[in-house]
Structures are given as structure tokens and as C-alpha cells.
Amino acid sequence: MPVSHTEHSNPGFAVYVHWPFCLSKCPYCDFNSHVRESVDQAQWRSALLAEIDATAAETGKRRVQSIFFGGGTPSLMPPATVGAIISQIAARWELDADAEITLEANPTSVEAGKLSGFAAAGVNRVSLGVQALNDADLKFLGRGHSATEAIAAVDLARRFFLRMSFDLIYARPGQTPAGWQAELRAAIAMAADHLSLYQLTIEPGTGFEGAVRRGQFTPMQGDMAADLYEMTQEICGAEGLPAYEISNHARPGAESRHNLVYWRYGEYAGIGPGAHGRLHLDGRVYATANFRKPERWLEAGRETCGMLSGRDQSIEMLMMGLRLLDGVSTARYAALAGAPLSSAIVQELCDQNLLSQTGDRVKATPRGRLLLDGVLARLLG
């Protein structure tokens, strides 16, 4: 289903549902994930449904254009719970007939077996955490599946879902351009309409951070990582899966509609532990954040709900929007910020081949996307 690129001023309303549990914690992951011996499924199901009720009570009616089950590992959820949540969202808000409903899944054989159940529950798109296509690197990344298992899970998912994506983590320590090229080509051959290709980042508080500190491995140098990134753009573009965001590639029209709501800075509700929302209430924009710890969330749900100033919104809009190849509307920025972007700085960044400007839109160039954090610091500094 092609997605309209024109509705930037109203990117739509999306619902994010967070399932915080994993069987084990991967050493690169800094997401809100927790390992628990057992989960009281009934309690969790009713808590998630209750939060949908409460949030819908705040927002009133909305046309939900996408739902995203993220985690954690949402493929560990009982399909019935997934179904109940979708029904509740449809009941409390209003679900678009062609709403995109994505669920993240680990490509283990056990979870692959549940894919038909998720499809039956209403999920119409899956995103598989494949991460690598060789066993040595999968082991390094702490994954609980083999390459063969992952490939089988991708094949199976393609049978149940028309829309399917999977993730790979690259720029791993010691990875060679030739090795990555072969792996990437293999991935493209398996891919349906979407790929997320993330460069390995050593995040604070993760297992990898400790390993690097202890000298167990050295992260790839920036210049080498940049080479791999550029190679990735070239290959994916040639193979019909161009980037539409820093790390996301899709056949034209197959972009993740849900994630586009974030990047186009639309409205979204966050359900579950650690989930964030941006709610538009009475003409104001509120940032909501739930308690991260599962047990704490069960007790108290939301931790903060603060109004964002126009300036805050303009910063977030720019920061998210420049990740897209499509860039941002300068008029929208100016309306939120109360003042336009400095034309001198924009010109300077254009001169440095980091930004380009056509009419109302400012975009990051390919070089600018690789340096986006610096570009943003300059624009907003």
C-alpha cells in the first residue's frame, strides 16, 4: 500500500505498545527490556488494556493509522493478548481500515511458530531481529538464534505477512567491506519490502560498554564505519531498497508508516513500561513518559506528562525530520519555534554540502546524514 508523502502537516495518530520482557539481554541493547522468570499474563493484559482506556479518555476520538508492538520481545506475548489490544484500540479510538499493525519478533523457531497466531490476531507486518547472517557474529551479538534459524523465520514470515522487515547490525568490530557487502547482498535477496540497517553503537550501561572498557574489543573507527555506510547506501539504492531514513530502507511506498509518524513529528500514544507519547490536547502538545521498570509501571503507569513549548517542539521536529531523506518544512519549523532557522547557518551548512534547500524544504545531503548530530548541534546551538 503506497503511503502518502504529502500529509506532512498532519502525519496522523499512532499507537505504540511496549512489551518489556526478553528471554535474555543482548549486550548491545539499551532499550527498556527486562528478564523475568515468569510473567503474570492476565495481569499484564488487563494493565495494558487499562492504559489504552485511560489514554483514550484523555485524547478522545482519533483515527489510528498504525500500531506498533515493540520491546523487549513482543513475540513472547500470547497472540490472544495482541488481539485483545488491537480490539481495544479499535474500540476506544478508531482504527483505519488499512492501518499498519507491526510486531517485532525474534527469529527463533519457537517464536516463528507463533507467527500465524499473530497474523490471525490482526498483525499485518512483522519486523524480525535478525541482526547478522553468520553464527559467529550472532554469538558476539548475544543472539539466541542461528543464521539458519533466522533465514527460516524470514521465509516463514513472508508466507504470513505481505509486509515484512528485518534488522541487521553492522559496522561490527573487525568487519570487512567485502564481508559486509556479501552479507548485505544476501539480506537483500531475502528481503521483502523493508530493511533496517543499524551501525553498531556502544551505548552507556550495556554489556558492550563494559567489554570495550575492559579492552575486550575496539569499536570500529568512524572513517571505516562511514565507508561501510556509504557502501550500504549505494548497494541498497541499486537494489531498489533506497534509504528513506538514516538507517531504514524500503521499496518506494513500503516505508514504515508508524515510524514515519515519529519522524514527521506527528501524534502518538505510548502504552506499556517506558513508552513515550506526544499527545495533542486542547491545542497543546504534551510529552508523556511511563515508568520504565515493569513492576513500577504496573503500580503507577505514567511517570511524567509535561507540556512542550513551541521551541521544544521545533527542536524535536527538526531533529526527527532531518533523519528523513524528505527533510523538514522550514515554514513548519518557523511556526513552532516562533522564528525561522538562521539563514546564515543554513547557508553555511549548504556550502559545506551538509544540507540542501529547495523551496520550503531543508534536507540533509548524504554527507550531512552521516554527520547529522553535528549538523543539528550547529543548527540548534
**Chain residues that interact with other proteins, rule: CB under 8 A:** 14, 16, 32, 198-201, 222-223, 225-226, 229, 246-247, 259, 261-262, 268, 270, 274-278, 287, 289, 312, 315-316, 319-320, 323, 348, 352, 354, 369-378, 380-381
CB nearer to other proteins: pick between 64 and 112: 64
**Least gap, CB of 153 to other proteins (angstroms):** 22
Give 108-147 as a 3 state SS string.
Answer: CHHHHCCHHHHHHHCCCEEEEEEECCCHHHHHHCCCCCCH
CB nearer to other proteins: pick between 11 and 79: 11
**Least gap, CB of 88 to other proteins (angstroms):** 20
- Residue 196 in contact with residue 166, Cβ under 8 Å? yes
